[in-house]
Amino acid sequence: MRQNQAFMTDREPEEQRTLVLSAFPAEADAVLSHTVLDHDPVVRAERRHFYLGSIGGKKVIVAMTGIGMVNATETARTAFARFAGESAIDAVLFAGVAGGGARVNVGDVTVPARWTLDGGATFLPVDAGLLAAARALSVDLQTVNYLRHNTPRVKLVDLKRRPRLVVGGDGSSFDNNNGQAFPCIPNGGGVFGCQPRSAPDRSLRYTGNFFRAAGPWLRKAFVTNLNVAWVADPAFDATDNETAAVRAVAGAQGVPFLGIRGISDGAGDPLRLPGFPFQFFFYKQIAAENAARVAAALLQTRAGT
């Protein structure tokens, strides 16, 4: 039971944590690889799992939203509701992968200055302070793409160039889910699975939103998902399915936000694979790991806050 406010005057100040979100297991595992988990790290709320810990000395809440705008919005709202009092959220980062525009290459990491939910008709700016902190970073980004983030590591390809951190520009978020939550697939791997492989409470029996979301999605969104965009809009440095939706939730809460996206499909592919989804599935690992490296470096600058 929550204590009466009158009996809370002698308590220590509420700890401030940064909410770090990713969409699917490979992205979340990349973030968790930088996370030192708390002794009792798992928090459950509205059937969603949140993991408490620290990255670079900064206290964080790590969570996997699931793919798409609806899942991202619902997870962000759940986080703000659950952690409103005892572990207030001081900022939100979204770290994941994206399709790249004209000025970025596969493996690069983009940190757009603003995001659009409507193809560029309107934009939502990110937090100026977080953007400036990202601009000041010097991060050693990975050049080799591996099969998975595990041991032993299986090398797929060396980009033979140093990926860049590109700060500024525009990002775009959309999905083809027709207003429905995209269902995860139990034990569905690094993209469609329901939990990060490295989650401290990982269970082969965990089904996520599959039984709730699969039926409505099949009825209302399966056909629209067949009309997937094979090439990202070159006007946007990053094109994804979640970031701008979370930016809108953070903005409604008055909390600073920044989106960090590693490029999984676009220009600069040494194998010249035929775009999305082929590049995405092949390069998602290096893109996710590079985005997580930037997020970790940024969080280190916020340690102690």
Q: What is the pLDDT of residues 202-257, one digit of tens each?
A: 999 999 999 999 999 999 998 887 766 666 789 999 999 999 999 999 999 999 99
Query: What per-residue confidence (pLDDT) applies to 148?
Result: 73
pLDDT for res 295: 99
Percent of the chain with pLDDT over 70: 92
12 confidence band (pLDDT: 50, 70, 90):
very low
> How high does pLDDT run on average in the chain?
92
Quick one: pLDDT at residue 151?
Answer: 63
7-26: average pLDDT:
74
> What pLDDT does 74 receive?
98
Examine the pLDDT at 3 and tell me if it is beyond 60. Answer: no
Asked if pLDDT for residue 8 goes beyond 70, the answer is no
Inform me whether the pLDDT recorded for 104 exceeds 90.
yes
> What's the pLDDT tens digit per position in 252-301?
999 999 999 999 999 999 999 998 999 999 999 999 999 999 999 999 99
Residue 115: pLDDT band with limits 50, 70, 90: very high
Position 84 pLDDT exceeds 80: yes
Which residue(s) pair with 95 in the sheet?
260
Residue 6 has pLDDT above 50, yes or no: no
pLDDT value at residue 153: 78
Q: How many Å from the N-terminal Cα to the C-terminal Cα in the chain?
A: 29
Residue indicated by tokens 């893109």: 287
Share of the chain above pLDDT 90, in %: 85
pLDDT at 2 exceeding the cut of 50: no
**How many residues does this entry show for the chain?**
305
Region 14-301: CATH code: 3.40.50.1580
Read off the pLDDT band of 13 (50, 70, 90).
low
d(C-alpha 263, C-alpha 18), whole Å: 23
Angle between helix 278-301 and 25-32 (nearest 10): 30
Q: What pLDDT, on a 0 to 100 scale, did the predictor assign at position 192? A: 98
How many Cα atoms within 13 Å fall on the side-chain side of residue 294?
Answer: 36
Domain boundaries, the chain: 14-301
Q: What is the 3-state secondary structure (H, E, C) of 78-89?
A: HHHHHCCCCCCE
Task: Tell me the C-alpha to C-alpha distance, in Å, between residue 216 and each of 177, 181, 194, 208, 212.
Answer: 10, 8, 17, 15, 8
